[in-house]
Chains A and B, each alone.
Chain A
Amino acid sequence: MRDFRYARASSVAGAIVAKRDGVKFVAGGTNLVDLIKYGAEQPDELIDITHLPLKEIEEMSNGGLRVGTLVPNSDLAAHPIVASRYPVLRQALLSGASPQLRNMATTGGNLLQRTRCYYFMDPAFPCNKRNPGSGCPAIQGQNRIHAILGTSDSCIATHPSDMAVALAALEAIIHVQGAEGERSIPISDFHRLPGDTPQLDTTLRSDELITWIEIPSLPDGTRSHYLKVRDRAEYQFALVSAAVVLRKDGGTIESARIALGGVAHKPWRATDVEEALMGQPSSLETYRNATSMSLKQAKGYGQNDFKIELAKRAMVRALVESEDHQA
């Protein structure tokens, strides 16, 4: 592994002050250390943030949940409030990675993990995300795992997180701190589409640190569910996933929030389906009708054409299965 300097931060302010070009924060390290081994990340210095007091999960006075950026994925999944009120988040977390990696990986780090595009991870290949302007071999190459929505001529990578897809459907808020102070970013604005700057995964500024994530409360009776479709039953990234948060009044859908994973550079809110479901009776027919006309802007690149139909069917199944997961 490439050599780098190492420093420990004992305060958030200290960590932010020390952050500059070539410096990366490290916590769980599950993705960053791996990418340094591959040579896809080449930091000069790592700042260890694991000693910062950002490890708590607390219930907020507004009924939401405050999750410190350093909370391990396994602890978040196991938290009683997450298990009872946010099944979609628990399911998403437990469908990701392996038990060992979930013990290491943190909440903030999960949001900031990088794509698993083969070309991005292998420095022998050009990649606009790793080396801007060098090209994208995936567009004409091996692209079975790549995006079908929100792509650009520069990049068709997907965001690999399951947790972020659930948080998108839960409309989580990412709280960050930087040299200019604190700000909060709705998760829909946190990850970005590649455009012609695919090297930027998020809207986080280079001096900013995620400090905590806010998960808003859900009205009683809200159902939520995460469905992950993948090549093997465990320990595999999603080909397509769907997170559903559904509120009904009797047999009528009051509101639906649906986010898709494995299809775009960010968790993809299927707003067209959400709108089509509103006020409709909750039934398989409704779900099929609402999804069949959806994702009109989706575009396949050859090997990943199947994802367009798969995404629609995943939404139907997630909606059906959400009936069993009332919070």
Chain B
Amino acid sequence: MSVIDDVSKTLKVGDPAPMVLFEADEEHPLLADFQGQTIVLVFHSGDWDPGRHHQVELLNQVLSSLSHPVQALSIAQSGFWCNLDLGESGHLGFPLLHESKYGELSNLFGVEGREAIYVLDPGGIVQWAHVGPIGAQSTLDDLVESFTTPVRRKGDLSRRDFLVTAVAASFAMSFLSGIAEAVAPRPTTSSHIEKLASDTVRLDVNGKVHEVPVRPNVTLLDALRERIGLTGTKKGCDHGQCGACTVHVDGRRVNSCLLLAVMQEGKKITTIEGLSSGTRLHPVQEAFIKHDGFQCGYCTPGQIMSAVACIQEGHAKSTEDIQAWMSGNICRCGATIGIREAILAVAGSQG
């Protein structure tokens, strides 16, 4: 992927939006249908994404800074994302411009695969744009200003055009690793630093390799649950304190909520789903059932993964041992005694 091209292709303030080039089916309206109104256009990943709530926050700010009625439209680059809760302003059903069949609109806007918010004036001209991850703080002053100052058409570069372009470029830089050197060469950059060429990570989970699109800020836990669909691993505290997210990486028990997915390439990950052999449960799973090692079950996958490792490590020889070495897994139903008995039973049977 040529990153430079992507940036230069990205629609900027003053550009006319491609209103009529997009076809729609019965369920999905045509963008041209809304011409004559101010349109807020949101490009987003249809899947779960950690940046989404930032995007929603920014979208809320955009909508509240526009004093006149606007039409908010949603472009899901895959999947669905509509019916957004907008807090005080209530519930907003986004007309959805679903383009998974075409992939065309985000391409025309030059934001394919990225998150973006565009404000189009009633004439279909880009009034304001925010392209790239939303994590960085942005100011909406220029948006408000843009409705009092006429926007210059393309070819007539204003200072604000330049600023927005520069902002778009800098966001793209922070999102797409590798571009930093191309756009703003850093003489200090060494060949001993490998910038990731893409945002895809190969994760070996339960013996199967998954190519997972993730940003650097996605944890292994979220990649497992939300990208790969292995929801057996649970998110409890999300801060390494409860142990519900425990998985094995290269045979060791770890908290997947504090591991970055991009750092797990080349490692063997085992989750609760990988423990049984077909329908035959792992001895620790059987023991948890036999000894009543759970009530609500939420901490159970983490408890079992931790228990399997605890026994393998040789730290399950006594009750005191287990109390100490299972301390990273918290059960607030109070099934702790059953859990301990289950572990003791399996450890004892293995001599």
Chain A positions near chain B (C-beta within 8 angstroms): 1-11, 13-15, 17-18, 20, 26, 29-30, 33-34, 36-37, 44, 46-48, 50, 74, 97-101, 103-104, 233-235
Q: Does B224 contact A (CB under 8 A)?
A: no
B175, B189, B258: which has the most chain A beta carbons within 10 Å?
Answer: B258
Could you say which residues of chain B place their CB within 8 Å of the CB of A14?
Answer: 190-193
Q: Knowing A7-B195, A30-B240, A101-B240, say if A235 contacts B189 (CB, 8 Å).
A: no
Contact of B135 (CB < 8 Å), options: A3, A9, A26, A47: A3
Identify which of residues 61-101 in chain B touch chain A, using a CB-to-CB cut-off of 8 Å.
none
Known pairs A2-B217, A14-B192; A7 contacts B258 (CB<8 A): no
B255 on interface, CB distance cutoff 8 Å: yes
A145 to chain B, nearest CB (A): 16
B196 at the interface (CB under 8 A from A): yes
Contact of B216 among A4, A34, A50 (CB under 8 A): A4
Is the pair B255, A104 in contact by a Cβ cutoff of 8 Å?
yes
Q: Which residues of B contact A11 (CB under 8 A)?
A: 190, 192
Contacting pair B254 A17 (CB below 8 A): no
Nearest Cβ in chain A — how far from B27, in angstroms? Answer: 32
- Mask of B177-215 contacts with A, CB within 8 angstroms, 1/0: 100100000001111111110000000000000000001
Q: Could you show 30 A-B contacts with beta carbons less than 8 Å apart?
A: A1-B50, A1-B217, A1-B219, A2-B217, A5-B216, A6-B196, A8-B193, A10-B194, A14-B191, A14-B193, A15-B193, A17-B190, A26-B260, A30-B240, A30-B255, A33-B219, A33-B260, A34-B258, A44-B174, A46-B260, A47-B193, A50-B263, A98-B243, A100-B328, A101-B240, A101-B258, A104-B259, A233-B324, A234-B323, A234-B327
B317 within 8 A of A: no
Contacting residue for B190 out of A1, A6, A18, A44, CB 8 A: A18
Complex Cα distance, B175 from A108, in Å, reads 29
Whether A17 contacts B216 by the Cβ 8 Å rule is: no
Q: Which of B193, B259, B325, B327 contacts A29 (CB 8 A)?
A: B259
User: Which residues of B have CB within 8 Å of A17?
Assistant: 188-190, 192-193
Contact residues in B for A29 (Cβ distance below 8 Å): 258-260, 263
Interface footprint category on B: 35 or more
**What separation, in Å, do the CA atoms of A1 and B175 have in the docked complex?**
14
Chain B hits for A47, CB < 8 A: 193
- Asked if residues A99 and B177 are in contact (CB atoms below 8 Å), the reply is no
Contacts of A104 in B (CB 8 A): 254-255, 258-259
Q: Which of B133, B175, B194, B329 has the most CB of A within 10 A?
A: B194
The residues of A that contact B262 with a CB separation of less than 8 Å are: 6, 48
Q: Looking at the complex, which one of A7, A9, A99 makes contact with B328 (CB distance below 8 Å)?
A: A99
* Contact among B50, B191, B239, B310 with A99 in the assembled complex (CB-CB below 8 Å): B310
Known interface pairs A33-B258, A100-B306, A104-B254; A7-B194 also in contact (CB < 8 Å): yes
Q: Chain B residues near A8: list those with CB within 8 A.
A: 193-194, 196
A317 nearest CB across to chain B (Å): 19
B299-339 contacts to A, CB under 8 A, are 306, 309-310, 313, 315, 323-329
Alpha-carbon separation in the docked complex, A104 to B135 (Å): 27
B123 to chain A minimum Cβ distance, whole angstroms, is 33
Chain A: CB-nearest residue to B216: A6
A18 touches B193 (CB 8 A): yes
Q: Give the complex CA separation of A50 and B250 in angstroms.
A: 14
CB distance from A248 to the nearest CB of B (A): 30
Q: Quick check: A3 and B175 within 8 Å, CB to CB?
A: yes
In the complex, how many angstroms separate the beta carbon of A117 from the nearest chain B beta carbon? Answer: 16
User: Taking the complex as formed, is B238 at the interface, i.e. its CB lies under 8 A from any CB of chain A?
Assistant: yes
The smallest C-beta distance from B91 to any residue of chain A, in angstroms, reads: 27
Q: Which residues of A contact B194 (CB under 8 A)?
A: 7-10
Given contacts A1-B217, A6-B262, A17-B192, contact A101 B255 (CB under 8 A): yes
Residues of chain A within 8 A (CB-CB) of B327 are 98-99, 234-235
Contact at B177–A5, with CB atoms within 8 Å? yes
CB neighbours of B282 from chain A (8 A): none
Nearest CB of chain A from residue B297's CB, rounded to whole Å: 20
Contacts of A103 in B (CB 8 A): 252-254
Point out the residues of chain B lying under 8 angstroms from A100, CB to CB: 240, 243, 246, 253-255, 306, 328
* Residues of B contacting A30 in the complex (Cβ-Cβ under 8 angstroms): 240, 255, 258
The 7 closest A-B pairs by CB, nearest first: A14-B192, A98-B328, A6-B216, A234-B327, A3-B135, A11-B192, A235-B327
Q: Are B253 and A9 in contact (CB under 8 A)?
A: no
Q: Which residues of the partner chain A approach B252 to less than 8 Å between Cβ atoms?
A: 74, 103
Point out the residue from A18, A36, A74 that lies within 8 Å of B188, measured CB to CB. Answer: A18
Pick the residue among B133, B192, B239 that contacts A3 (CB under 8 A). B133
> Which residues of B are found within 8 Å of A13, using beta-carbon distances?
190, 192
Give, as a whole number of angstroms, the nearest-CB distance from B316 to chain A: 11
Of all chain A residues, the one with the shortest Cβ separation from B196 is: A6
Chain B residues lying within 8 Å of A7, measured Cβ to Cβ, are: 177, 193-196
Apart from A3-B50, A3-B133, A7-B194: 9 A-B pairs, beta carbons within 8 A:
A1-B219, A9-B194, A11-B192, A18-B189, A33-B260, A36-B217, A44-B174, A98-B243, A100-B246
Closest to A47 in B: B193
What's the Cα separation between A305 and B91 when bound, in Å?
A: 52
**Chain A CB within 8 A of B1 CB:** no
